[in-house]
């Protein structure tokens, strides 16, 4: 395993909720990342750990292979890939995201 894969794994395993996104929570750099952050915040995610893939070219290049998911943002909860923006928003609309977030933040 490469050092960048180890770093990705450490980020995912080190935080209950991780969003690999373009930009930051305060300054998202794409609409998809912005919508994912808004959905997570609306679902009660107050301990949201993010990684700005625009500042981390090695992670940006390697995460799609690691997760087998081609696009950003990528949401992980409890070490498991949840999906990208569309899935995050769908889960938020169904109420499922709030349950996942609440469970993750209890840990």
- Could you tell me the pLDDT band of residue 40, with boundaries at 50, 70 and 90? very high
Strand partners, 34: none
Mean pLDDT of 30-35: 98
Residue 80 β-bridge partners: 77
Contact (CB, 8 A) for 85 and 66: no
Q: What is the per-residue pLDDT across 1-23, written as a single tens digit (0 to 9) for each?
A: 689 999 999 999 999 999 999 99
pTM: 0.95
Residue 27: which pLDDT band, with cuts at 50, 70 and 90? very high
Could you read off the pLDDT of 51-63 as tens digits, one per residue? 999 999 999 999 9
């Amino acid at each position: 395993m490469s050092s960048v894969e180890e770093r990705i794994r450490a980020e995912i395993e080190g935080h209950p909720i991780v969003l690999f996104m373009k930009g930051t929570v305060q300054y998202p750099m794409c609409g998809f990342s912005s919508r994912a952050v808004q959905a997570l915040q609306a679902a009660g995610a107050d301990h949201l750990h993010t990684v700005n893939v625009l500042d981390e070219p090695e992670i940006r290049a390697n995460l799609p292979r690691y997760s087998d998911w081609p696009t950003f943002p990528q949401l992980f909860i409890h070490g498991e890939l949840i999906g990208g923006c569309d899935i995050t928003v769908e889960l938020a609309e169904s109420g499922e995201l709030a349950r996942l977030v609440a469970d993750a933040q209890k840990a």
